[in-house]
Chain A
Amino acid sequence: MKKIAWVILLGTAMSAGWLTPGIASADTSEIILMAHDSFSVGKAVVAKFENRHHVRLRFLKAGDTGAMLNQAILSKNNPMADVLFGVDNTFLSRALAADMFIPYRSPHLGDIPDELKLDPSYRLLPVDYGDVCLNYDRKWFAAKGLAPPARLEDLTTPAYSGLTVVENPATSSPGLAFLLATVGHFGRDGYLNFWKELRDGNVQVTASWKKAYWGSFSAASKGDRPIVVSYASSPAAEVHFADKLMEQSPTAAVVQKGTAFRQIEFVGILRGTKKADMARKLVDFMLERTFQEDIPLQMFVFPANKTAVLPAVFVKHARVAEHPVFVSPQDIAAHREEWIEAWTETVLR
């Protein structure tokens, strides 16, 4: 009986401890950033912001980008956070249509290339970008004496049959980005034909990036697919997170013209915030060099601010796509469901 009492006491004490932060969230000396699960930032960077503005920076993580955006939209009249990070260009129009951000022209926008600024109303400001593209297993191609793919068209030639794994655009954001690359590259009349050939060439489709990369990609696991849809910066992560020193990444990214789709991630101030001033300071901070230079090794994407200095492993092993495929956010919003459905019909059924 004593044991039970002890457990109950412990449980109650812990619950009481947890309840407090929930109540304290209306505190003025605190600001909340809502982000997707892949968001990360360094401790020192957070401390710098907190010390400069005498405020506590708190974080809420709300699942993948789609889940996070949905939750933000559902709670827009009584938001859970002050600032939202992580809406990308595939979700941009949907996010803007919900009318839940207030415009802000940050003074740091001058340091950001114009081609990343996709919202002319300045409600969503670009923070980082990453190119979704094909990655391949260097060793595998060298051993086979086969040239690695250089164009999307290569994937449907007989030599590449059964080599590729892609993610389902209906459940994965790199999957959707790659579908958009094919829509932009082959045109609305041609992309389904490419996918039909890819299906006949025995392409593998997985539900998520995790399953494709860790379950099927030959360079990352005991998989049997030497080509995977990932990011142009993934080879840098392979080097950075290797369990031994390596000169060259075991993987490489395909970045030739017309093969990649650029995902740009945005930050916005939520309309319902009671701390608009501090929210603007946070947005400024996220576009400043300190935060921007922390981005590459935290999230393995590129900083939007062109004055930010890249870490050595990025300079050496990460790539930026040359002329990525462009599809406008308006087009994506208007046709997203149609393209996904048509893709599903063609590839899966």
Chain B
Amino acid sequence: MKNISSKYYVLLAGLPLAYLAIFYFYPLIKIFTVSFLPDEAWGPGNLKKLVTSGIYLRTLWFTTWQAVVSTVLTLLLALPGAYVFARYQFRGKELLRSFTTVPFVLPTVVVAAAFHSLLGPHGLVNAVLMKFFNLISPPVAVDQTIALILIAHVFYNYTVVVRIVGGYWSRLEPGLTESAKMLGASPAKVFFKVTLPLLSPAIMAASLLVFIFCFSSFGVILILGGPRFATIEVEIYRQAIHLFNLPMAAALSLVQILFTFALMWVYTQLQRSRSMALKPESRAVTQKKIDSGVDRLILATNVGFMILFLGLPMMSLIIQSVATETGVSLGFYRALFENATESVFFVPPADAVFYSLGFSLAALLIALSLGVPAAVFLAGPANRLRSVLDPLFMLPLSTSAVTLGFGFILALDKPPLNLRTSPMLVPLAHTLVAFPFVVRSLLPALRSIPPKLREAAALLGAGPWKVWRTVDLPILGRALVVGAVFAFTISLGEFGATVFVARPQTPTMPLAIYRFLGQPGAVNYGQAMAMSSILMLVSATGFMFIEKFRVTHGGEF
């Protein structure tokens, strides 16, 4: 019996492993070989600086500490939000949750524009403060500071914690905390001694994703942080694209990969010992209506925070999209539909929406079909294979997009893998980033399923497939939706894909935004804002739609 099931498990890991082998390891090996093999144009001599200069050590240090601080801040600010979504029933909840995820799809230049209109020298916040306190000069000057980097990282990642921790929290039985309260524990004690330990698998999964996201942060650092800050990712881009130092770029990529692998290995070990079986509860039991003043206060504070912190920047984009020289008008939206320059690269808005959605759906499907078996495999009993594969599956998320993009050019250039200029490469590449999100969203839920439930089902005569379908799948429902939303989001936002070859015949919304911002003129800026607003609307609608999918038959979890 044991042997049969372990064979099953290896089969489960086979598909995602094959995918990674073809679309991750093969391109990486290709680019590393070319980079480290000396030829007439570049030789390993270019690598000297890596060891002789202190700059790279400092870069690694900055990369790490800003990621740690960003992660801690995101957790502190988003955990109360996760609680609100997990425990309360209130009107507009689904809508609010969709809206917290929208920042994830926004290109960095657009987020920069949003923050600029709020926190810039003539922005809303400064205007209000100057008026209130009668100041002569704007008091808030966050542009190109570490503060803005941290704010942006929280802005982007708030939803990761809300969805992953919130989803897990909503299935926790309130019984344990109730008994602790009854035994006389203070609310603080209940939280730190009972709730937090119970939540720790989900909190750690979310933290890991946020950490890696910030560790390999590129656009936020470059655009919002400015040239005084550099993560390893930024340095790789600088070396590869502007200094032609491919060996250095490859060496830094390798450092980045090894460093994150080591971190994730430690994490995996820690997490295994933390996970515990829980009696899954349906949402009818875990959620309550708002009935006390405290509840109302908690809800209001959190919703207020989300509206101020996430909503205002997004609102400012919408305002900029309708604010023309001649007052409020839909002129920029109308301009989107007119090919004023007669350019062959004109992007009809409907096309951009269609291709964006098409790529995202494709990425979602591939990421789920790889992520589910991978997570099921990893959730099995601990062994050496699992402790290697777990961190391995996370690597694509932390690998430099520039390096991988170059690897694709080298590796995927012959049939049957002549994909480097094929549109199929887009969802395939997005899947590499989306897949770890799916795995991390599913794992805490999978590990929390009490083995007794499965054993009982098996005892009653259910085969392995039926056990999975009737026991695991319903409990996983919520986590599957979370994973699907992230896969969809990552692809929609074209996370890190700007360096890949773009096929103008399949334009997406983020590419259209970049194009508008490439030339001076008020109409170009206005159209970029209008397209950003459409992107926000389409993604929010997409999230709502995905949330409607429930694979469950036996009650909601």
Q: Which residues of A contact B (CB under 8 A)?
A: 3-4, 7-8, 10-11, 14-15, 18-19, 21-23, 25, 37-46, 58-64, 66-67, 70-71, 73-75, 78, 80, 94, 97-98, 168, 170-171, 176, 204-208, 210-211, 213-215, 220-224, 230, 234, 237-238, 240-244, 251, 297-298, 300, 336-337, 340, 344, 348
Which chain B positions have C-beta within 8 A of A66?
A: 241-242
Are A11 and B361 within 8 A (Cβ)?
Answer: yes
Are B227 and A240 within 8 A (Cβ)?
Answer: no
B143 lies within 8 A of chain A by Cβ: yes
B515 lies within 8 A of chain A by Cβ: yes
- CB B96 to nearest CB in A, in angstroms, measures 24
Are A75 and B410 within 8 A (Cβ)?
Answer: yes
Are B424 and A19 within 8 A (Cβ)?
Answer: yes
Which chain B positions have C-beta within 8 A of A223?
A: 116, 120-122
Are A63 and B419 within 8 A (Cβ)?
Answer: no
Q: Across chains A and B, which 8 residue pairs bring their CB atoms closest together, nearest first?
A: A241-B521, A22-B422, A18-B423, A66-B241, A168-B227, A222-B122, A237-B520, A207-B222
Complex CA gap A61/B502 in Å reads 5
Are B223 and A208 within 8 A (Cβ)?
Answer: yes
Are A238 and B521 within 8 A (Cβ)?
Answer: yes
Contacts A220-B520, A222-B123, A243-B326 supplied; 17 other A-B pairs, CB < 8 Å: A11-B358, A22-B424, A37-B502, A61-B501, A70-B240, A73-B41, A98-B41, A204-B144, A210-B223, A211-B109, A214-B109, A214-B517, A215-B116, A222-B117, A222-B122, A242-B325, A242-B522
Are B521 and A211 within 8 A (Cβ)?
Answer: no
- CB B77 to nearest CB in A, in angstroms, measures 25
Which of A94, A207, A297 meets B341, CB within 8 Å?
Answer: A297
From B418, which residue of chain A is reached at the shortest CB distance?
A22
Are B521 and A242 within 8 A (Cβ)?
Answer: yes
Are A171 and B502 within 8 A (Cβ)?
Answer: no
Between B343, B413, B424, B499, the greatest number of chain A beta carbons within 10 A of the residue's beta carbon is seen for: B343
Are A43 and B421 within 8 A (Cβ)?
Answer: no
Are B419 and A22 within 8 A (Cβ)?
Answer: yes
Query: What are 21 of the A-B contact pairs (CB < 8 Å)?
Result: A7-B361, A19-B423, A22-B423, A22-B424, A39-B345, A42-B344, A60-B503, A61-B502, A62-B501, A63-B501, A70-B406, A71-B405, A73-B41, A97-B41, A170-B227, A208-B223, A214-B113, A214-B517, A215-B116, A222-B121, A223-B122
From A94, which residue of chain B is reached at the shortest CB distance?
B244
Complex CA gap A35/B122 in Å reads 38
Q: Which of B517-532 contact A (CB under 8 A)?
A: 517-526
Are B227 and A206 within 8 A (Cβ)?
Answer: yes
Are A244 and B326 within 8 A (Cβ)?
Answer: yes
- CB B61 to nearest CB in A, in angstroms, measures 15
Which chain A positions have C-beta within 8 A of B272?
A: none
Known: A66-B241, A222-B116, A244-B326. A40 touches B522 (CB 8 A): no
Are B341 and A340 within 8 A (Cβ)?
Answer: no
Which chain B positions have C-beta within 8 A of A67?
A: 241, 402, 499
Q: Which of B496-524 contact A (CB under 8 A)?
A: 498-506, 514-515, 517-524
Complex CA gap A224/B344 in Å reads 36
B311 lies within 8 A of chain A by Cβ: no
From A336, which residue of chain B is reached at the shortest CB distance?
B243
Are A210 and B361 within 8 A (Cβ)?
Answer: no
Q: Which of B91-136 contact A (CB under 8 A)?
A: 109, 112-113, 116-117, 120-123
From B361, which residue of chain A is reached at the shortest CB distance?
A11
- CB A251 to nearest CB in B, in angstroms, measures 8
Are A224 and B227 within 8 A (Cβ)?
Answer: no
Return the CB mask of B462-479 against A: 1 if under 8 Å, else 0.
000000000000000000
Which of A21, A297, A337 meets B243, CB within 8 Å?
Answer: A337
Which chain B positions have C-beta within 8 A of A243?
A: 324-326, 331-332, 522-523, 526
Between B402, B424, B514, the greatest number of chain A beta carbons within 10 A of the residue's beta carbon is seen for: B424
Known: A18-B506, A204-B144. A170 touches B242 (CB 8 A): yes
Are A74 and B506 within 8 A (Cβ)?
Answer: no
Are B518 and A43 within 8 A (Cβ)?
Answer: no
Known: A41-B344, A207-B223. A18 touches B517 (CB 8 A): no
Which chain A positions have C-beta within 8 A of B283?
A: none
B171 lies within 8 A of chain A by Cβ: no
Known: A42-B343, A61-B501. A213 touches B243 (CB 8 A): no
Are B243 and A37 within 8 A (Cβ)?
Answer: no
Which chain A positions have C-beta within 8 A of B515?
A: 37
Complex CA gap A43/B343 in Å reads 6
Q: Which of B408-426 contact A (CB under 8 A)?
A: 409-410, 413-415, 418-424
From A251, which residue of chain B is reached at the shortest CB distance?
B520
Q: Which of B340-359 contact A (CB under 8 A)?
A: 341-346, 358
Which chain B positions have C-beta within 8 A of A64?
A: 241
Return the CB mask of B36-58 against A: 1 if under 8 Å, else 0.
00001100000000000000000
B202 lies within 8 A of chain A by Cβ: no
B209 lies within 8 A of chain A by Cβ: no
- CB B40 to nearest CB in A, in angstroms, measures 8
- CB A253 to nearest CB in B, in angstroms, measures 11
B13 lies within 8 A of chain A by Cβ: no
Between A23, A62, A222, A223, the greatest number of chain B beta carbons within 10 A of the residue's beta carbon is seen for: A222
Complex CA gap A11/B423 in Å reads 13
B68 lies within 8 A of chain A by Cβ: no
Complex CA gap A80/B412 in Å reads 11
Are A241 and B522 within 8 A (Cβ)?
Answer: yes
Which chain B positions have C-beta within 8 A of A300?
A: 519-520
Which chain A positions have C-beta within 8 A of B519?
A: 237, 241, 300
B228 lies within 8 A of chain A by Cβ: yes
B362 lies within 8 A of chain A by Cβ: yes
Which chain A positions have C-beta within 8 A of B305?
A: none
B34 lies within 8 A of chain A by Cβ: yes
Which chain B positions have C-beta within 8 A of A214?
A: 109, 113, 517, 525
Which chain B positions have C-beta within 8 A of A18?
A: 422-424, 506
Which chain B positions have C-beta within 8 A of A44?
A: 342
Which of B117, B222, B325, B501 meets A80, CB within 8 Å?
Answer: B501
Known: A19-B422, A75-B410. A60 touches B242 (CB 8 A): no
Which of A4, A59, A78, A244 meets B325, CB within 8 Å?
Answer: A244
Are B413 and A78 within 8 A (Cβ)?
Answer: yes
- CB B221 to nearest CB in A, in angstroms, measures 9
From A222, which residue of chain B is reached at the shortest CB distance?
B122
From A237, which residue of chain B is reached at the shortest CB distance?
B520
Which chain B positions have C-beta within 8 A of A46?
A: 344
Complex CA gap A3/B545 in Å reads 11
Complex CA gap A222/B323 in Å reads 13
Are A14 and B362 within 8 A (Cβ)?
Answer: yes
Complex CA gap A210/B107 in Å reads 13
Are B422 and A298 within 8 A (Cβ)?
Answer: no
B365 lies within 8 A of chain A by Cβ: yes
- CB B469 to nearest CB in A, in angstroms, measures 13
Which chain B positions have C-beta within 8 A of A62?
A: 501-502
Which of B226, B526, B549 meets A4, CB within 8 Å?
Answer: B549
Are A40 and B344 within 8 A (Cβ)?
Answer: yes
Return the CB mask of B393-413 against A: 1 if under 8 Å, else 0.
000000000100110011001
From B363, which residue of chain A is reached at the shortest CB distance?
A11
Which chain B positions have C-beta within 8 A of A71?
A: 405-406, 409, 501
From A209, which residue of chain B is reached at the shortest CB distance?
B518
